[in-house]
Chain A
Amino acid sequence: MRYAIPLLILGVLLAFFAVGLQRDPRVLPSPLIGKAVPAFELPVLALPKAESPPLSMGNAAFAGKPYLVNFFASWCAGCQVEHPYLMQLAKQGGVTIVGVDYKDADADVRQWLAARGNPYAPILVDLDGRAGIDFGVYGVPETFVVSADGRILHKHVGALTPEAFARDVKPLLGAGS
């Protein structure tokens, strides 16, 4: 009977692998969920048409209403994918999308937005990626859902899709007020 032990061990291992395969390895729960948004104070990207916006904005500017923080960059392919959907969300209104332009040249992102439209309420510039580090950003695009009282409720990794928004984001927007 002891000669069958290796076979049994294999069976158990295979079962775990089979379960492991069902998991998405990209889902990495953020340790920040439920915690307060990291303090940030970032320069605002000046856009040609805007009427003299503030030079920089921080947490305080957004308190009181739930909002999304979307890390993006003009050099990122996934951001192009999610861009049309963000435009649609912006058109529907209902939620403020704060764009954080991550490690990107201002001129590049202006051109990028000119070609595609601007879904963001303000665009903050994170040139050296410091805010990205505070938020624990692995790569762009990543989207954080922040409650009215300033806690991170959810983190979405990769391009935001209508399904993901309806499933993970929308139910949270009423919370925390």
Chain B
Amino acid sequence: MIPELGHFALILALGIAFLQTVAPLVGYRRRDAKLLAFAGSAAQAQFFCIAFAYACLTISFVNTDFSVAYVAQNAHTDLPNVYRFSAVWGAHEGSLLLWMLMLSGWTFAVSVFNRRIPAELSALVIAVLGVISVGLLLFMLLTSNPFDRLFPVPLQGRDLNPLLQDFGLTIHPPMLYMGYVGFSVAFAFAVAALITGKLDAAWARWTRPWTTTAWMFLTLGITLGSWWAYNELGWGGWWFWDPVENASFMPWLTGTALIHSLAVTEKRGLLKSWTVLLAILTFSLSLLGTFLVRSGVIVSVHSFASDPARGLFILIFMAVITGAALTLYAFRAPKLASVGELHLFSREGLLLLNNVFLVVACAAILIGTLYPLVIDALNLGKISVGPPYFNAIFLPLMVPLFVLVGFGAVVPWKKGKAGETWQRLKLPALFAVAFAIVVPLALHGRATLLAVTGGLLGAWTIVAASQDVWRRIRAKPSFIAGLASVPRATWGMTLAHAGLGVWALGVAFVISYGYEKDVRLAPNATTEIGDFTFGFVGAQEAKGPNFIAQQGEVTIERGDHSVTTLYPQKRFYPSQRNVMTESAVDATLMRDLYVSLGEGFDDGSWSLRIYVKPMIRLIWLGGVLMFLGGCLAASDKRYRLARAADRKLALDGGTQAA
């Protein structure tokens, strides 16, 4: 009964989504305020339907109702309760439902928080989001219904993929989807602007917090994904340039570009059509991410479900959504001409440069990701593009970007002065150079080119970014008053830029000074890595709730004193006959000690994979700082206070822009 209710709620949601699209569009043509106002109610009703359906699926999982095919494929009576909740998005059908829940949630948020912006714009935004809803709901109901029944009912389910039985993965997909889907709001704002032809500073100000919010979730999602891969996949790496990782990274790059170009559009009224294009691209790349993961067009470790019929549907869906938006863009964008001139050496000029680097980096990754597909389509054979390509292309593009970040916070809008900039930046530059030379030598006794470059760029970014806050505090009579006077948006920017610097330090140090070693150790044998001594005590059997494990015991010593003891596991999940490596990590901010079990041999010895990763935590700390920066920037009170004023402005001045 419960699954049927869920299924019914989805069908109802499809009907509502259809009305949510049509009514505001008709209302816009006829200038009918009632039809426009209907958009918000429809969005809210749709959200409740989807949330209800989602709850139904969750209940089916908690009750392990194996008459539901999707539950039978992804649950087991031994599955711990926590993972029954997360198993809902453990495979294709359920993750689509989660996608839908996010989309309707974002639309719901637009309908609630947009009460202060012009009814016309808000209704159109909701209508565009409705189109996306219709497409996805059709996709779900036609090709991947999570509520399909299974007969005869199996006595036992096939269990959740053990890879996904990890805390990181319970929160990684929701965060990632929040980001992916969140960009649909920026997309909808862009399309609405193309329809109405009104694109002014107020529009940019309304769009900014939505974009920043989506961006910060995507940032956190990617960071969590990287952390999860490090913990769970047992390879000890944090980024693999896997097609699916790239799929999440591309919208992040264009989304980052979008945040910055929106700032230019708001403050200076420039780059209008570029901003709109970026908004369309960012969401299209999010859709592409879904397409790549779900269609099997590109094979990757992440593709949990692939099915060409579904791929075709997503492809058509993408063609319709992105195609329609770009067609509209081709006709309307020429009218969004920007007024005013742009000096390269000004904040907007530097932001434009930042956009160029970000978009070129994104294009390079897109080419690398799709190249195998193109080669295959042209019958030139099957190839794959690996990390060497991406590292060689991506890292050089990042260097000027980091240099720019330092300038961006210091150079004023409209036109910068070289002398003044130098006065402000000479100390940070000096500090960065000193840091880059001293720190690698002091910590590791040798300096590599990468460590020095990374240290230079990281320190430069962090120090130059905090300049803005520092100057604002200096300008006030007391430190406390100064601290209070710094707006949240500035804190947000500073924190996010500092996060980028912290990230760069982590990357440079972990690549330069990391040790990796594969060894075969007999019980009570030891091996030396760096200044650590790893001793293998032996392996024993251990039992978990739904797995049996071989658990190794590894003692780690540095000099004479013991550092820690680690217990890596090799788990066997009988329900799926699947073996999983559960590595053990001892982490501090300065270094990670990482041990994972390989194969066991008859004589009791095991092959072990041991890593010493200096400062790898900084990589994720950087991501978290960027996330927090996004939180602060999106919640700046400027967006809330300014809305009332904007609305008046838009009502008075709207016609003149059209």
Binding site for B on A (CB under 8 A): 3-4, 6-7, 10-11, 13-14, 16-23, 25-29, 75
Q: Is the CB of A28 within 8 A of B382?
A: yes
Q: Is the CB of B326 within 8 A of A21?
A: no
CB-nearest residue of chain B relative to A12? B374
List chain A residues, Cβ under 8 A from B370: 13, 16
List chain A residues, Cβ under 8 A from B280: 6
A101 to B318, CA, bound (A): 45
* B342 within 8 Å of A (CB atoms): no
A21 to B377, CA, bound (A): 9
Contact of B312 among A21, A23, A25 (CB under 8 A): A21
24 A-B contact pairs sorted by A residue (CB < 8 Å): A3-B329, A3-B331, A3-B334, A6-B277, A6-B281, A7-B326, A7-B329, A7-B330, A14-B318, A14-B319, A14-B323, A16-B370, A16-B377, A17-B291, A17-B315, A18-B315, A20-B297, A21-B308, A23-B297, A23-B376, A25-B297, A25-B299, A26-B299, A28-B382
A4 to B333, CA, bound (A): 9
Contact of B315 among A14, A27, A28 (CB under 8 A): A14
Binding site for A on B (CB under 8 A): 273, 277, 280-281, 284, 291, 295-299, 306, 308, 311-312, 315, 318-319, 322-323, 326-327, 329-331, 333-334, 370, 373-374, 376-377, 381-382, 577
A16 to B319, CA, bound (A): 12
Contact of B330 among A4, A14, A28 (CB under 8 A): A4
CB-nearest residue of chain A relative to B300? A25
- A-B pair number, CB within 8 angstroms: 65
Smallest distance from the beta carbon of A25 to chain B beta carbons, Å?
A: 5
| Extra inter-chain contacts (20) besides given A17-B315, A23-B297, CB under 8 Å | A3-B329, A3-B330, A3-B334, A6-B281, A6-B329, A7-B326, A7-B327, A13-B370, A14-B318, A14-B323, A16-B373, A16-B374, A20-B377, A21-B308, A21-B311, A22-B308, A23-B376, A25-B296, A27-B382, A29-B382
List chain B residues, Cβ under 8 A from A27: 382
Smallest distance from the beta carbon of B288 to chain A beta carbons, Å?
A: 9
A28 to B383, CA, bound (A): 10
Smallest distance from the beta carbon of A74 to chain B beta carbons, Å?
A: 10
* Given A16-B373, A16-B374, A19-B377, A25:B298 Cβ within 8 A: yes
Smallest distance from the beta carbon of A17 to chain B beta carbons, Å?
A: 5
CB-nearest residue of chain B relative to A17? B315
A16 to B323, CA, bound (A): 15
CB-nearest residue of chain B relative to A129? B599
A77 to B280, CA, bound (A): 44
Q: Is the CB of A10 within 8 A of B322?
A: yes
Smallest distance from the beta carbon of B564 to chain A beta carbons, Å?
A: 32
CB-nearest residue of chain A relative to B308? A21
CB-nearest residue of chain B relative to A76? B577
List chain A residues, Cβ under 8 A from B296: 25
Contact of B333 among A3, A14, A26, A28 (CB under 8 A): A3
A17 to B381, CA, bound (A): 16
